[in-house]
A = this chain, B = another copy of it.
Amino acid sequence: MPTGFSFQLKTADGTVRLGVANTPHGVFHTPAFMPVGTSGAVKAMTADNLEECGAEIILGNTYHLYLRPGEKLIREKGGLAKFTSWNKPTLTDSGGFQVFSMQDLSKVDDDGATFRSHHDGSLHRFNAEKVIEIERDIGADIIMSFDQCVPYPSDRRTVSDSVRRTYDWAQKGLEYFNRIEAAQPSGIALFGIVQGSIVEEFRKISAEQITGINFPGYAIGGLAVGENKEEMENTLAYTIQFLPADRPRYLMGVGYPEDILMAVSYGIDMFDCVLPTRNARTGMVFTSQGPLVFRNADSADDDRPLDINCDCRVCKRYSRAYIRHLYNQREITALVLATYHSTYFFQNLMRGIRLALMENRFEQFRRKFMEKYSERE
């Protein structure tokens, strides 16, 4: 039987936490930021690049991988980590967020969701069991329960329905998962997801329901979908009190560096977000002095690296003027360089956070980071 999932807290200084997770494909340290590898690659990055940047776990999107190349092919090829040659820990989301974000193409009912492929318009159906089956075939180390993520804002009825369905699907999914695992142990860990929009009443219900099921880890879903930063923080602060301290806590789809620091301060262990990679492809990188829109004319004559305080491969070698020129010529190389830097920047932030946690100086680290981050020259 493969080594299963386990999670150890190394230190917990008040609410902030430093940990390490063991998975069938190796360990990752928390707080962890997972670059998003939608279709099995972090856009414009190679696995070598990701290793250099210090990423330890990558997220894949179940919705995308199910449609192309299909979970059966990935399974035949030994699972996501092997198929992509990443060979390290991976996590797949449940597809619930994609179904939510492509509302024109999908319809949710109590039993699941019917949606059309964005490739060819073909009709597909996800439900609790089907998603688990697909995720097991894809074979990430951590897989997520099928959930319903609702838009912001949503009315009470919509939130209430989504909380009920998310609970129902979590139970059905886990039951199905346990049945397969009993026959074919894989070492994969299935996490539960708490929903409830920004409504405390529903967050409490959802958190109590989902944590009432024995998952090895819990995610807070349904945030970073349009609510403001105060609403996000309030909802997170409220919800996290219901999550057991001994299990990893994953804040889905977050976020900006300031959001990550905020969430770590409440005890979040895992993050994922497309921001560093997506923004890089639109001409913006994250730097120690705040976001830099390097495609702008300001950079045309600028000999400095993207981030003057960064020691990544890109900042050690290339100037803003050069990268800006390439970006404006639509050169792929510009996207490669910018994505690399921002990926490194986020991993470096997480390394800084983990070291500060280790040394019991997280709040000092956060304050200093934010001071510099707001000082864009």
Q: Which of A298-321 contact B (CB under 8 A)?
A: 300-301, 303, 313, 317-319, 321
Q: Is A364 an interface residue (CB 8 A)?
A: no
- A202 to B: closest C-beta gap in Å: 36
Q: Which among A68, A303, A333 has the highest number of chain B CB atoms within 10 Å?
A: A333
Interface 1/0 per residue, A164-175 and B, CB below 8 Å: 000000000000
User: For the complex, is A85 an interface residue (Cβ under 8 Å from B)?
Assistant: yes
B residues within 8 A CB of A300? 69, 73
Report which of B68, B334, B337 forms a contact with A328, defined as CB distance below 8 A.
B68
Within 8 Å by CB of A336, from B64, B303, B332, lies: B332
Say whether B85 contacts A317, CB under 8 Å. yes
A332 & B85 in contact (Cβ 8 Å cutoff): no
Per the 8 Å Cβ criterion, residues 314-365 of A in contact with B are 317-319, 321-322, 325-326, 328-329, 331-337
How many A residues, CB 8 Å from partner? Answer: 39
Contact present for A69 and B317 (CB under 8 Å): no
Shortest CB-to-CB span from A296 to chain B, Å, is: 14
In the complex, the answer to whether A317 meets B39 with C-beta atoms within 8 Å is no
Whether A331 contacts B85 in the complex (CB less than 8 A), given A47-B317, A73-B300, comes out as: no
Nearest residue, chain B, Cβ from A333: B41
CA distance A328 to B119 in the complex (A): 11
A41 near B331: Cβ-Cβ < 8 Å: yes
Whole-angstrom distance from the CB of A10 to the nearest CB of chain B?
32
Copies in the complex: 2
Report the bound CA distance from A329 to B73 in whole Å. Answer: 15
In the complex, what distance in Å separates the CA atom of A169 from the CA atom of B313?
A: 43
Task: List 24 interface pairs A-B (beta carbons < 8 Å), by A numbering.
Answer: A39-B325, A39-B329, A40-B326, A40-B329, A41-B333, A41-B334, A42-B333, A43-B332, A43-B333, A44-B336, A46-B333, A47-B318, A68-B325, A69-B300, A69-B321, A69-B328, A73-B300, A73-B301, A77-B303, A83-B319, A83-B321, A83-B322, A85-B317, A332-B332
Q: Which residues of A contact B (CB under 8 A)?
A: 39-48, 64, 68-69, 73, 76-77, 83-85, 300-301, 303, 313, 317-319, 321-322, 325-326, 328-329, 331-337
Other A-B pairs beyond A39-B325, A332-B336, 15, CB < 8 Å:
A39-B326, A41-B326, A41-B334, A42-B333, A43-B331, A43-B333, A44-B332, A48-B317, A69-B300, A77-B303, A77-B319, A83-B319, A85-B317, A332-B332, A332-B335
